[in-house]
Homo-oligomer: A and B are copies of this chain.
Amino acid sequence: MAEKKKKEALSTEEKIITAARKLFMQKGYDATKTRDIAKEAGINLALLNYYFRSKEKLFELVMEENMGQFMMVIGNIVNNEETSMEQKIESLVANYIDMLTRVPDMPLFVMTHMKNNPQRLKMRERFLGSHFMKQVQEGIKKGEITPINPVNIMINIVGLTIFPFIGRPMIQNNNGITTEQFNALMQERKKLIPKWIGAILKAK
A binding-site residues for B, Cβ under 8 Å: 27-31, 105, 108, 111-112, 114-116, 118-124, 127-128, 149, 151-152, 154-156, 158-160, 162-164, 166-177, 185, 188-189, 192, 195-196, 198-200, 202-204
Contact = CB atoms under 8 A, between A and B. Distances in A.
A118 B203 contact: no
A175 to B, nearest CB: 6
Nearest to A124: B174
Contacts of A127: 174
Count of this chain's copies in the oligomeric assembly: 2
6 tightest A-B CB contacts, nearest first: A30-B30, A159-B163, A199-B203, A123-B174, A199-B199, A114-B169
Determine the main DSSP class of A at the interface with B. Answer: helix
Contact of A119 (B173, B188, B204): B173
Given A27-B116, A115-B108, A116-B27, A173 B203 contact: no
Contacts of A188: 149, 152
Contact of A163 (B30, B149, B158, B172): B158
Given A111-B166, A112-B28, A196 B200 contact: yes
A180 to B, nearest CB: 14
